[in-house]
Amino acid sequence: MANIGIFFGSDTGKTRKIAKMIQKKLGDDVADAPVNINRATLDSFLAYPVLLLGTPTLGEGQLPGVDAGCESESWMEFTDTLATADLSDKTVALFGLGDQQCYPDNFVSALKTLYDAVIERGAKVIGEWPNEGYEFTASAALVDGRFVGLVLDQDNQFDLTEERVDGWLEQIKPAIL
Ligand SMILES: Cc1cc2nc3c(=O)[nH]c(=O)nc-3n(C[C@H](O)[C@H](O)[C@H](O)COP(=O)(O)O)c2cc1C
């Protein structure tokens, strides 16, 4: 088993694709194959000291899950599972997908829900990201003017994704390798 676990939620597959890209860039020795959170158990999640967690924002600024219109359970339900977990020995970095053009008032807001869920359980979160280069009105995912994790917009800025992923990985590598 590698040191880094990558878990993602995804409705239409875009976040899954990014999770795979991140795993490939880190390599098999360092990071295991990404797991859809709807297939994860708490034990499998807690097995990793380093967790890279990816989510789209769905509904109106919500995590994916049945209440956000997804066919299967996802982060919304797993964050309930996390309610009793101890993450105080975990290093967590978050990546989120959203659509700044169609949802400018709630851009990648669900990233903050995931952030709060792991912070509440004691995790150390790294990998905040600047908000420059995006056009939106409001986002719950900003803390002190910076996103709580890497933000990607595959709907409008797919051409910037690889560069953003590379920059973010360089930023977090010293803390996760
Ligand atoms: C019904 C629906 C609601 C959405 N709501 C939001 C939203 O509130 N904020 C946002 O930034 N993006 C929103 N999006 C855009 C998705 O987050 C974006 O398309 C993402 O890349 C989807 O990732 P996935 O393919 O992994 O599910 C929404 C998309 C859909 C279909």
Per-residue pLDDT at 102: 98
Ligand 1 neighbour 123 (Cβ under 6 A): no
End-to-end CA distance of the chain: 14
Ligand 1 neighbour 99 (Cβ under 6 A): yes
Per-residue pLDDT at 133: 98
- Cβ neighbour number for residue 174 with a 10 Å cutoff: 8
Per-residue pLDDT at 36: 98
Domains and CATH numbers, the chain: 4-175 (3.40.50.360)
Percent of the chain with pLDDT over 90: 100
Q: Which tens digits make up the pLDDT trace of 141-170?
A: 999 999 999 999 999 999 999 999 999 999
The span from the CA of 71 to the CA of 149, in Å, is 26
Per-residue pLDDT at 13: 98
Per-residue pLDDT at 177: 94
Per-residue pLDDT at 106: 98
pTM score > 0.95 for this model? Answer: yes
Ligand 1 neighbour 61 (Cβ under 6 A): yes
Residues 91-105: what's their mean pLDDT?
98
Instruction: Report how far ligand 1's centroid is from the alpha carbon of 50 (Å).
Output: 26
Instruction: Report how far ligand 1's centroid is from the alpha carbon of 58 (Å).
Output: 4
